[in-house]
């Protein structure tokens, strides 16, 4: 049977796993207590559920539950980490190192800091999307108060050399923060082993609900709160906790831990099939390092095509042109630009993000549909 609609935009968001939804449902009505209510069983029950979720989230990344701060998502977690570290750093003139191909949820808070007088270095990347470690080391100064580099890129899936970056940050005693929104739950990672100080991630990229995420803050690392009022999350993020969301996030982490390796193997096969077949079309190029990238992501440029027209002709297939979060603007992707891809080719690029519920039939269908659209638009 031909699939009706095919969703290949799992980097933008993932569907909620039915097992996650089931776990969340009682917390909307039956067990609706406020986790901060200390005087009755409704509150205790909610608090217990939050603590259990905190353990599930911590376990997935090798952290301790006390090192997890729940937020509304990765955007908020990035803001909290970046502004929170810079606020508390004692240096008079402050310097941060990041990268040109970061997500807007890192770039925009950094731009705000620049307006406030902080100096920011945006490292370039090579044509594979990777930073140069020697270049990073050269940029560290006595004023550097933070290094913020993403784990895996949302447009290309390219994975930065996180362990090496953390080792350099450690050598110069600079806190290292990583936006790991696309990596957590997809590849095994352990914050302790890697030497990461702060790490952000989000439930809706890993089959959990939207509107909930977390910041890992290593024990001993100090940040200033960005939202005050009530002292929740040990004073670092006030506001009544989103209990159903947090419960779902916990379950999503548990499921990822159990099946991440099987998902990864299966999706790599499907992604490779999609990519190999489409690369056979003349003038088609893959963007991003071939090995150092997530197994479920592919970013392809189709020479001579207008990406928007291609997207329109693929109306049964949900993919994105560049990153969904910048879709309000019609700029070519800053990530592809940063990798030296021409504007013309960047506009002619599609991002495919496969997910846990992607089937072989859907990939077969997508290949046929894209192939015929590309051929038709070129004639
Ligand atoms: N960082 C990266 C790398 C992302 O891909 C995203 C989501 N597009 C975010 C941050 C923002 O996450 P959220 O939607 O949870 O705010």
Nearest atom, ligand 1, residue 152 CA: 3
| pLDDT surpasses 80 at 325 | no
pLDDT digits (tens, 9 = 90+) for 48-66: 999 999 999 999 999 999 9
| pLDDT surpasses 90 at 306 | no
| pLDDT surpasses 90 at 326 | no
| Average pLDDT rounded to a whole number, residues 26-39 | 97
Q: Can you tell me which residue has the tokens 């099939």?
A: 273
| Average pLDDT rounded to a whole number, residues 116-133 | 98
| pLDDT surpasses 90 at 301 | yes
| pLDDT surpasses 80 at 151 | yes
| Average pLDDT rounded to a whole number, residues 122-133 | 98
What pTM did the predictor assign?
A: 0.97
Pocket perturbation via mutation, ligand 1, pick of 181, 246, 293, 296 by most ligand atoms within 8 A of CB: 181
- Whether 256 is catalytic is no
Ligand 1 center to residue 281 CA distance, Å? 32
Nearest atom, ligand 1, residue 105 CA: 10
Nearest atom, ligand 1, residue 77 CA: 16
pLDDT digits (tens, 9 = 90+) for 361-377: 999 999 999 999 999 99
| pLDDT surpasses 80 at 251 | yes
Pocket perturbation via mutation, ligand 1, pick of 78, 103, 149 by most ligand atoms within 8 A of CB: 103
Q: How far apart are the first and last CA of the chain?
A: 29
At how many degrees (to 10) do helices 104-115 and 74-88 cross?
30
What pLDDT is stored for residue 3 in this prediction? Answer: 72
Confidence category of residue 2, pLDDT binned at 50, 70, 90: low
Gap between the Cα atoms of 69 and 96, Å rounded: 23
What pLDDT is stored for residue 18 in this prediction? Answer: 98
| pLDDT surpasses 70 at 323 | no
- Cβ–ligand 1 distance for 103 under 6 Å, the answer yes
Pocket perturbation via mutation, ligand 1, pick of 104, 154, 324, 355 by most ligand atoms within 8 A of CB: 154
Ligand 1 center to residue 74 CA distance, Å? 5
* Other Cβ atoms closer than 10 A to 327: 11
| pLDDT surpasses 80 at 162 | yes
What pLDDT is stored for residue 379 in this prediction? Answer: 83
- What domains sit in the chain, N to C, each tagged with a CATH number? 6-15+260-378 (3.90.1150.10), 18-255 (3.40.640.10)
Helices (H), 233-339: 243-279, 307-313, 334-338
| pLDDT surpasses 60 at 343 | yes
| pLDDT surpasses 70 at 322 | no
Name the token pair of 141: 């100064």
- Cβ–ligand 1 distance for 185 under 6 Å, the answer no
- Cβ–ligand 1 distance for 150 under 6 Å, the answer yes
Nearest-CA residue for atom 7 of ligand 1? 12
* Other Cβ atoms closer than 10 A to 12: 18
Gap between the Cα atoms of 23 and 11, Å rounded: 24
- Cβ–ligand 1 distance for 160 under 6 Å, the answer no
| pLDDT surpasses 70 at 327 | no
The overall average pLDDT reported for the chain is 95
């Amino acid at each position: 049977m031909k699939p009706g609609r095919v969703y290949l935009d799992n980097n933008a968001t993932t569907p909620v796993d039915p097992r996650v939804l089931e776990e969340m449902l009682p917390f909307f009505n039956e067990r609706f207590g406020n986790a901060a209510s200390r005087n009755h069983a409704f509150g205790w029950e909610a608090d217990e559920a939050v603590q259990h979720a905190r353990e599930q989230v911590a376990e997935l990344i090798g952290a301790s539950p006390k090192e997890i701060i729940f937020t509304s998502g990765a955007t908020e977690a990035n803001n909290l980490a970046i502004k929170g570290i810079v606020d508390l750093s004692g240096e008079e003139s402050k310097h941060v190192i990041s990268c040109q191909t970061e997500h807007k949820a890192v770039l925009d808070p950094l731009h705000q800091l620049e307006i406030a007088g902080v100096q920011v270095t945006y490292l370039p990347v090579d044509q594979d999307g990777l930073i140069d470690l020697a270049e990073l080391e050269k940029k560290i100064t006595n004023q550097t108060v933070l290094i913020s580099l993403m784990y895996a890129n949302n447009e290309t899936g390219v994975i930065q050399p996180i362990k090496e970056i953390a080792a350099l940050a450690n050598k110069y005693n600079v806190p290292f923060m990583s936006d790991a929104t696309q990596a957590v739950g997809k590849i095994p990672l352990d914050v302790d082993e890697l030497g990461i100080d702060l790490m952000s991630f989000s439930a809706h990229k890993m089959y959990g609900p939207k509107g909930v995420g977390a910041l890992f803050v290593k024990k001993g690392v100090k940040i200033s709160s960005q939202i005050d009022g009530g002292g929740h999350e040990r004073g670092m993020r006030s506001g009544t906790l989103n209990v159903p969301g947090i419960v779902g996030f916990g379950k999503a982490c548990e499921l990822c831990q159990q099946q991440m390796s099987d998902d990864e193997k299966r999706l790599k096969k499907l992604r490779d099939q999609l990519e190999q077949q489409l690369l056979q079309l003349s003038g088609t190029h893959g963007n991003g390092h071939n090995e150092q990238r997530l197994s479920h992501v592919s970013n392809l440029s189709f020479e001579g095509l207008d990406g928007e027209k291609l997207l329109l002709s693929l109306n049964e297939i949900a993919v994105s042109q560049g990153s969904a979060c910048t879709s309000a603007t019609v700029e070519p992707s800053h990530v592809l630009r940063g990798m030296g891809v021409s504007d013309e080719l960047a506009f002619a690029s599609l991002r495919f993000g496969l997910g846990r519920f992607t089937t072989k039939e859907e990939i077969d269908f997508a290949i046929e549909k894209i192939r015929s659209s590309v051929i038709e638009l070129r004639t």
